[in-house]
Amino acid sequence: MDTLGYFRDIVTTGRRAEELAAFDGKVVGTFCNFVPEELILAAGAVPVRLCAGDHGAAGEAETFLPRDLCSVVKSTAGLVQRADGLYGRADLLVMPTPCDGKKKLAGLLSSFKPVHILDLPSRKDAPGAKHFWLEQIKALQATLEKLTGQAVTRAGLRAAIELLNRRNEVFRRLHALRRRQPPPYSGEDALFIAQASFSDDVPRWIEHAEALCDELEKATPAANDGPRLLLTGAPIVHPNHKIIGLLEAAGAQVVADEMCSGGQRLYQPAVLRDWSMRAMIEAVAEKVMLPTTCPCFVDGVDRVNRILELAEQFQVDGVVYHSLRLCPLFEIESFGIGRELKERGLPMLTLNTDFSAEDTGQLRTRIAAFVEMVGA
């Protein structure tokens, strides 16, 4: 298998589910970047991020959920109910509460599996938010220790932080390669690389990512004069790669993304003041909270700033905003972001869609027009 194909294989096949079916320890399913994987590893369990992009499962969930819910909530509920693969294997689900849909989903899923709810503050800088979040992280630590029967020790947590910071370092090497013109790998490949880390064994992911860096740093890709685009907005998760597939098929080069299912997931390291237990817990809590641009917080300034920073670093010609139908957070935020970017001369296309393929033709037409416009 070629080096890039490894990541695609982890995401698109049942390989990881088979490996974990034979593993006799605990597996912890998480639903977004707010869950510090360091704590799960330090408690002796395996983290798997279970964010869903499966349209079929979303349809199945409509037998016990309202139809007018976002695809993420329906798809997740459908997959947990199906209980196959990693969804069946997870011993515990850790569910942050960014929106009403996820809150109610946490309650619903607790009839299938044990669920630990991770409450989020409504603003990162609200009075008491830091203390509140630390208490949430400590409560998660207690749940994990109870699940595995293994205490999170200083040595264990330090090893987990060092391991995930190594993953972050190699990810940044790969990420930097996308600044080249043309970049040596596609935007969809970038999503496969990031999404393989959702479930893969961490040392093995690092080993393959290092080999890929070594290979791509020497590569000379074929010339490509398609416009350079940045993708932001709601997470795009396999198998719903519809938008990115259409953008690249239209001739665009997706050279950066600003999504929690892509670059945002692996970019930030844990920053330590020292190696005391307290400093390590604070570092993993801050790592998942401070740099996030999730629209669940009142203020959307962080996302605009991050988009502008990436747009400059990666020399992008335009931005595509993926808005998930029936998700008020992403839909509302898209207006302000589009306005801010326009003022700075950066065109933005908003695509409001869901996991179904019904709107593919219409999306293709709009994307072709945008790619032509920014390319000119």
Contact set with ligand SF4 (CB under 6 A): 32-34, 51, 70, 72-73, 98-99, 101-102, 234-235, 260, 292, 294, 296, 324, 327, 329-330
> Strand locations in 68-213, DSSP E?
92-96, 115-118
Residue placing its CB nearer to ligand SF4 in the complex, 152 or 270: 270
What is the Cα Rg of the chain in Å?
A: 20
Question: Which residue is listed with tokens 């970017």?
Answer: 341
Residue placing its CB nearer to ligand SF4 in the complex, 70 or 349: 70
The amino acid occupying position 314 is: F
Residue placing its CB nearer to ligand SF4 in the complex, 74 or 208: 74
Contacts of 306 by beta carbon, 8 Å cutoff, 6+ apart: 258, 264, 293
| Paired strand residues for 254 | 229
Dist CA 157 CA 165 (whole Å): 12
Contact 55/356 with Cβ under 8 angstroms? yes
CB of 73 to ligand SF4, least distance (A): 5
Residue placing its CB nearer to ligand SF4 in the complex, 31 or 185: 31
Q: How many CB atoms lie within 10 A of CB 172?
A: 15
Q: Which residue is nearest to ligand SF4 (CB)?
A: 32
| Paired strand residues for 340 | none
The amino acid occupying position 145 is: E
CB of 178 to ligand SF4, least distance (A): 21
Residue placing its CB nearer to ligand SF4 in the complex, 216 or 230: 230
Residue placing its CB nearer to ligand SF4 in the complex, 51 or 231: 51
CB of 190 to ligand SF4, least distance (A): 16
CB of 54 to ligand SF4, least distance (A): 14
Q: How many CB atoms lie within 10 A of CB 335?
A: 12
The amino acid occupying position 322 is: H
CB of 207 to ligand SF4, least distance (A): 27
Residue placing its CB nearer to ligand SF4 in the complex, 54 or 317: 54
Dist CA 62 CA 48 (whole Å): 25
CB of 100 to ligand SF4, least distance (A): 8
